[in-house]
Chains A and B, each alone.
Chain A
Amino acid sequence: MNELLHMSEEDLAALPQKDTRSGFGQGLLELGNSNPNVVALCADLTGSLKMNAFENAHPDRFYQAGIAEANMMSVAAGLTIGGKIPFTGTFANFSTGRVYDQIRQSICYSDKNVKVCASHCGVTLGEDGATHQILEDLGMMKMLPGMTVIHTCDYEQTRQATKAIADHQGPVYLRFGRPKMPIFTPENAEFVIGKADHLIEGNHVTVVATGHLVWEAVLAARALHAEGVSVDLLNIHTIKPLDVQAILNSVHKTGAVVTAEEHQRAGGLGESVAQVLSEHCPTPMRMVAVDDSFGESGTPAQLLAKYNLDAAAIVRQCKAVLEASKTCA
């Protein structure tokens, strides 16, 4: 199980790298080939979302919506009425904040089977800066009744998740991103909505991570391992519904938890975990997340470091929570 912990630095560096958005594009193409009810809409970002392959293979089932995201969301709701399974594609910012009321009324309240697929999430969008780096979307989406919220960690998992959500009846928010990241989840692993991946088994501190920060958490676990600290790492790809049992099982073992996400502290995965723990098992906890701030221009690596979202930040918080748990005990 703990391959990622024991892999040599050379092997780690040799892992193939791809962007999660390309996993979405590939998954969508495969879906289009296998499911004739799958249709796709894009708001003038077909290349950025890697939706060209679907568009080329299935031009009759691809709808260019132009720079008009509100219309796109409601059109998608309408397409479901005729039994279609629409996948909308644009940046995470324009997939959520810009169109919240359309998702709320036409999609969620009306229980429409729309898959809102959102790329370029978080600060790892990079140089475009804060206007495009949404850090509030998980919170907005998880507050909507009936919405399933998924945030995948690498190319392969995004490909699998894209295909899996077509079989789920109901609205889904699928969040992924721009930068190339190592592919570390197994090829063709079954994607089960709502079931956490237990990536590394350990017993000193639980790390609950989502999205791009799962990789940072792997690096943090390796660094801590070298210092004799054993991390139990959960990849929470489904933020809603949350795998409560997996989190409780881990926390019962470790008694300390750190959450990690490319999102505001308010509204994110950490908040969901805190809610579960405060009800079921109050536990010393730290959150690796953006602290009530907008992002800015920079490279993804610079921004992850500056906003305390990188592996080093996760290591710091793990040490801090272990210290705190001693005091509590």
Chain B
Amino acid sequence: MSNTHTVPEICSQVRRDIVRMVHGASSGHPGGSLGCTDFLVKLYFDVLELDPANFSMDGSGEDLFFLSNGHISPVWYSVLSRRGYFPVEELGTFRMLGTRLQGHPATKEGLPGIRVASGSLGQGLSVACGAAQAKKLNGDDRLVYTLHGDGELQEGQIWEAALYATQHKIDNLIATVDWNGQQIDGPCDDVMGLGDLPAKWAAFGWAVLTVDGHDLEDLDRVLKEARTMTGKGQPIVILMRTAMGRGIDFMEGTHKWHGIAPNDEQLADALSQLPSPVGDY
């Protein structure tokens, strides 16, 4: 698939998967999923060193990715299946009884590509720190990536992990933040303002990069730059300016589509805005 389709084509297909999955389950989180689609497709199809056909928990010799804001599982499941971790047909079981595609990512059902449960926010950066330290102990020079919501940064544990990564010079770790300025109850600035995020991360000792999270060329630049900055004694964070609901006009830029499903009419409207270059599941 990655050989025959371009990243923008896969992005469009993944966005179709997201709205169809959430519609099919009558629940789920389309807003953040759509906003992180460009980044995750770019990361999984163009950046990470992976072996999807032979998934192993330890991921030895591979790059690792941890989704800390587990509620955007639709985009992750779509990207994982489109990348070859499991059959795309399984996307149709999202959130249904007996599925491996639980509402929030889990390891219990054995879905390939997932190494820790997430959903209760704020834990993924710490888990990634541990996984990165294990890679160092094992002499494995591949990298560890994470994704966090900006609202998630209100969790105190994130900042515990931020201190820890700096203290222990975890320089094989690239954290990324979906900086869309929205959370369930409204704009982050109204709910619990995050202030000057780049300055906050820098003050915690991190190397800070920013990017337009929907500009694939800019994402290419920042991900390459981040990689050149690894191995220098400092953890790296990429703050990605994004729009919640990106790619579907009536969902874009509002917190209202954080966690609700489109009805039949809204689904048809959404799909009419998104070509299906790869083919629906």
Interface: B160 (CB within 8 A):
yes
Interface: B140 (CB within 8 A):
yes
Question: B160 to A68, Cβ gap below 8 A?
Answer: yes
Q: Which residues of A contact B64 (CB under 8 A)?
A: 81
Tell which of B37-45, B129-137, B234-242 binds the partner: B129-137
Interface: A294 (CB within 8 A):
no
Chain A 33-63 against B: per-residue CB contact (8 Å), 1 yes, 0 no? 0000001000000000000000000001101
Least CB distance from B101 to A in Å reads 16
Q: Which residues of B contact A111 (CB under 8 A)?
A: 107-108
Question: B57 to A81, Cβ gap below 8 A?
Answer: yes
Give me the interface of B with A, judged by CB distance under 8 Å: 57-60, 64, 106-108, 115-120, 122-124, 126-135, 137-138, 140, 156-157, 160-161, 163-164, 167-168
Question: A81 to B160, Cβ gap below 8 A?
Answer: no
Chain A 175-208 against B: per-residue CB contact (8 Å), 1 yes, 0 no? 0000000000000000000000000000000000
User: When chains A and B are docked, how far (Å) is the Cα of A167 from the Cα of B16?
Assistant: 47
Give me the interface of A with B, judged by CB distance under 8 Å: 39, 60-61, 63-66, 68, 70-84, 86, 101-102, 104-106, 109-112
Question: A78 to B132, Cβ gap below 8 A?
Answer: yes
Could you write out 18 A-B pairs with CB less than 8 Å apart?
A70-B156, A71-B160, A75-B129, A75-B164, A77-B130, A78-B130, A80-B130, A81-B127, A81-B131, A82-B60, A82-B134, A82-B140, A84-B137, A101-B123, A105-B118, A109-B108, A110-B106, A110-B117
User: When chains A and B are docked, how far (Å) is the Cα of A39 from the Cα of B64?
Assistant: 21
Query: In the complex, given contacts A74-B157, A76-B130, A81-B57, what are 12 additional A-B residue pairs having Cβ atoms less than 8 angstroms apart?
Result: A68-B160, A78-B116, A78-B127, A79-B134, A81-B115, A82-B130, A83-B58, A84-B134, A102-B123, A105-B117, A106-B116, A109-B108
Which 5 residue pairs spanning A and B have beta carbons closest together? Answer: A78-B130, A82-B134, A74-B126, A71-B160, A68-B160
Known A66-B164, A81-B57, A83-B58; contact A74-B117, beta-carbon cutoff 8 A: no
